[in-house]
Amino acid sequence: MRVLVWGASRGVGLLVAQQALEAGHTVTAVARRQIPLGGCESTLTMRRANIEDRFSVQSLVAGHDAVVISIGALPGFTPVYSFSLGTSHVIEAMQRAGVRRLVVVTGIGAGDSRGHGGFLYDRLFLPFVLGRVYRDKDRQERLVRESQLDWTLVRPGFLTHGPRTANYQVHTDLRGIKAGKISRADVAHFIIHSLNERCWYQQSPLLGCAV
């Protein structure tokens, strides 16, 4: 599979690119800054581009089988639009190019996962620290849901730098669920294994550590 990864310079995006290569996929890794992927694999292409640049997005999407978006933004006092703007460009480019598989990493507190992070996170950290970020993640999720693509919205719990264990919980029914920790490596593991799994199309799984 030919996979385009936006946000491949660090975190989940970098690990998705690494694990996709390990799994034998052909990867185009894209980020605004230098991408720390070593080696000279014939199946790896690295590009520096900004997902908010519509022309850059249009030029990169065609020719891929799947697109993964795992971008970030620092919390602050100014409105955030990078998630929704960049995702709108990707969706437009995918529709034009006939690329259908889209996986987007959002987070705990986006959409109907709000209220499942625990008291301190839900009542203090989310509204007062991450409020602007998650308002745009909500817009991002709405765009994805309305896209008519084969999408999956991945909502990790509280991210750690732990190892890949391939042992974690995946929740689609959030009744009674409180998000726990999960390593970035395990989030990447789920994404890679969900790319060809039709059971995850039009789903918004919440990922957390195994009990």
Report domain extents, the chain: 2-209
Q: Is the pLDDT of residue 128 over 90?
A: no
pLDDT at 75: 82
Q: Is the pLDDT of residue 34 over 90?
A: no
**For residues 42 and 30, what is the distance between their CA atoms, to the nearest angstrom?**
16
State the CATH architecture for 2-209.
Answer: 3-Layer(aba) Sandwich (3.40)
pLDDT at 19: 97
pLDDT at 40: 61
Helix (H, G, I), strand (E, B) or coil at 146: coil
Structure tokens at 181: 């920790």
Q: pLDDT grade, residue 203 (50/70/90)?
A: very high
pLDDT at 39: 61
Q: What is the mean pLDDT of residues 37-60?
A: 90
Helix (H, G, I), strand (E, B) or coil at 52: coil
**For residues 2 and 58, what is the distance between their CA atoms, to the nearest angstrom?**
16
pLDDT at 124: 86
Rounded to two decimals, the pTM is 0.95
Q: What is the mean pLDDT of residues 71-75?
A: 88
pLDDT at 211: 60
- As a whole-number percent, the residues of the chain with pLDDT over 70 amount to 98
